[in-house]
Structure 1
């Protein structure tokens, strides 16, 4: 069987929990072939790989959100019903993955669509129906920014596979839904974290979005997540609370399953434990990126210091995925005078450190 694995901001360009999980999954299924569809913010090349691909990986298709579709296509005349379906879908009225062929083949290129009378009417009507009072120009460009990656992804060339497996909703779930629709294949969806909730947290703090448009962006990510939930044959996550959130966000209850992360008990128990008698030794295995909120961890360490608790916190995880954020964390450690107690050691062999904590 040939399986398509769709990931976003992850394998094989970014190390971390989901990437390690994908790598392990493929290594442990040598009887199957895998095609990686990797969605990244910017273009990447093979030189950027953080992993040595298993031998059963037959190809990697990298789709950059900033990379415009290059295939030429002529816009087709749309019926009134088709135009209404586009508006209903783009204004989050209902999920409708059967609209993908229209967006893939009938509206022309994204640039042609954004220059069309249909798009202008759609944005104008939405602006009026929402009772917006902010800049219409900003609102118009918000729509373009929101749907440019969607249309580019839907119009991208994708590999033929027997089954598609998305490791999140969002853009990965969108692509997997389109592949199921296009190729008539099964679609499995696994969520480690709840994608649309994570995007919501980021958007609420984002300074680049005018406050009056934040709710629109949040609705957008919930909308495409609902679409993935409805289109997937199975929706799997790690624990019950995540399953409850998925159900609240629109996942059909009959599709939900819980598969907890496995733990290599034998391998870990053999490491032993070195008791620390002089101080409390704390380890954090975590990517140093904003969604992990490392700064709150550092502030918590400051509370321990103020309480005169002898401790040492070792933060283990790559420092190069968001260099600016990592530098801010290191500066915060210095500002709070925690240099002797909080160590950011980068990507290390975790097993060498675990016995110390």
Structure 2
């Protein structure tokens, strides 16, 4: 079958997010054709280029989200009136969604949002791009009328002109996919299935392909985009009216995506709960854990334990969400119970904020252990060390895990804990804080403590350091669980089955006609895209038990011609 793979800021760009699992998916499902439709987030990303693509990728279309192309389209009177109607309806629904009163997210409002969204898309398809209209005074006035209308919530009524301009600019950026030329019969309309690799803008082209061409939509969310928008719209980022209206738009868009998708595949139970709270039906949700390469950790996981006794290891990207401050305070408690214990922090800082945080953690370590400060000229043994992958203590990532008797995670915010799964592949016992999908991933193969609780974290670490047999049992169970649930193979197999399930419920929409103009039933089944040798239908006689309505049509409509040689 032909898959339209939709990405935002990710695959197939070299520096894209979540590009690794997309590449593994495409390469693992080589029996299908993939058309890539990628939205880029910046000029640098487009300049860096694309990763090498396998032969099953037959087409790559890209479009920028970071800039508004000047399409030069100027609407006439009727298109302007139609735009004002659709945009005004969209703004009215967003104002209703800005009211936190329960019941505001009704089915009627969801239908009105969808109608306004698809109305704008139809206008862009018929008249040209929406860029100029979305940046026009008409859009700002429509927002102002909706905010000043009787019954509008107080938060919306308080919006001033700068707030309205900020909301209009945000909507213009978010709605740029409506103006793309991706929805004709020779682009996404020709796909058997659209697979959006994230919610939000990445799923918007899939919504339009479903609306215009009835192409079924599959949405995968390994990180909930709606949650990311909520976190980005903090009190210090914008005025209350702007935050309320923008949050209303993204929640409405997420609800529309969840309502129209054939199947949703969250990466963990945490993302699944978000989808259900936004109206997704439980019967259409399939949890598919991210697939990770277990082979690179097999040598450590299958070898005898050669870890350094009493050593705790933390591996990851250094940033405030990882809460290394609590880990350092917990390790001070560990040292009082186990004076020979050591803590090794392996990781590089994430951006300027991570660099500053790393410096703060180094200063705290020096303060907590003043007689054993970490530095190049320190005499004696240092209980806390900071290093990166490639250093003498951690030449490779597997060896970083191999050197620790216990692997520790202290995060307060976590999505899918990749580093925790890597430790499980290595057969290491773990102590983690209850954040994100940690409990779901670890199961019963490690110790889990509340976040921001150094005492509980220290007690769990001491318990494992003093019990080597328990560490060995937990490490073996963790490796077995990771190999069963979190490998690339299980991820590819899960999506292969979901693809077939969707297509079985959503038959091919293309109509093939014979020489007389009559339709040919079963002439273009989805399975005809599978590679292999297909016999010439004209060389085979009609079977005896052929209904009268088939008589006179080419033999390609018969069952043997549809199934092919390998199916008989």
TM tier, smaller: 0.7 to 0.9
Q: How far apart in 1 are the matches of 2:246 and 2:55?
A: 40
Q: Deviations over 1:3-33 (max 9, x none)?
A: 2222223223466873211110011112223
Q: Give the conservation status (yes or no) of the 8 Å contact 2:324–2:361.
A: yes
TM-score normalised by L of structure 1: 0.81
> Residues of 1 paired with 2:16 and 2:386: CA distance?
21
| Kept after mapping to 1: 8 A contact 2:195/2:219 | yes
- Quick one: distance in 2 between partners of 1:177 and 1:123? 28
**Structure 1 match to 2:329:** 303
Q: Does residue 139 of the first structure (1) align with residue 163 of the second (2)? A: yes
Contact 1:226–1:251 (CA<8 Å) still a contact in 2? yes
- 1:219 matched residue in structure 2: 248
Output the CA distance in 2 between the equivalents of 1:352 and 1:15: 26
Structure 2 unmatched runs, 5+: 98-108, 336-340, 367-373, 375-383, 405-568
2:148 pairs with 1:101: no
- Going from structure 1 to structure 2, the CA distance change for 1:210 and 1:328 (only over 3 Å counts) comes to farther
Give a deviation string over 1:179-238, Cα, whole Å, max 9, x none: 322333121101112221122122226x33124432332222212111111121111113
Q: 2:224 aligns with which of 156, 179, 194?
A: 194
Q: Where does residue 173 of structure 2 map in the other structure? A: 149
The answer (yes or no) to whether the contact 1:295–1:329 under 8 Å persists in 2 is no
Query: Alpha carbon RMSD of aligned pairs, Å?
Result: 3.3
2:506 aligns with none
- Aligned twin of 1:356: 403
Relative to structure 1, is the Cα distance of residues 183 and 356 closer, same or farther in structure 2, using a 3 angstrom cutoff? farther
**2:7–2:196 contact (8 Å) kept in structure 1:** yes
The number of aligned residues is 346
Higher RCO, Cα 8 Å, sep 6+: 1
1:343 aligns with 2:387: yes
Cα distance 1:227–1:353, how it changes in 2: closer, same or farther (>3 A)?
Answer: same
Summarize deviations over 1:94-136 as a string: whole Å, max 9, x none.
Answer: 2415334345245863223432436413333325523346561
User: Residue 263 of structure 2 corresponds to which residue in structure 1?
Assistant: 234
Q: Deviations over 1:125-155 (max 9, x none)?
A: 3255233465612221122222111332210
Query: SS at the partner of 1:330?
Result: helix
Residues 144/349 of structure 1: CA separation in 2 closer, same or farther (3 Å cut): farther
Give ranges in structure 1 of 5+ residues lacking alignment: none
Separation in 2 of the partners of 1:19 and 1:243? 22
Q: Distance in 1 between matches of 2:16 and 2:326?
A: 23
Q: Report if the CA contact (8 A) 2:313-2:401 is conserved.
A: no
What SS class does the counterpart of residue 4 from structure 1 fall into?
strand
Q: Which of structures 1 and 2 has the bigger CA Rg?
A: 2
For normalisation by structure 2, the TM-score amounts to 0.54
Out of 353, 357, 360, the position equivalent to 1:325 is: 353
Please say if 1:252 is aligned against 2:281: yes
For 1:259-338, list aligned pairs within 5 A.
259-262=288-291, 268-271=297-300, 272=303, 273-284=305-316, 294-307=320-333, 308=335, 310-315=342-347, 323-337=351-365
2:215 is matched with 185
Aligned twin of 1:30: 30
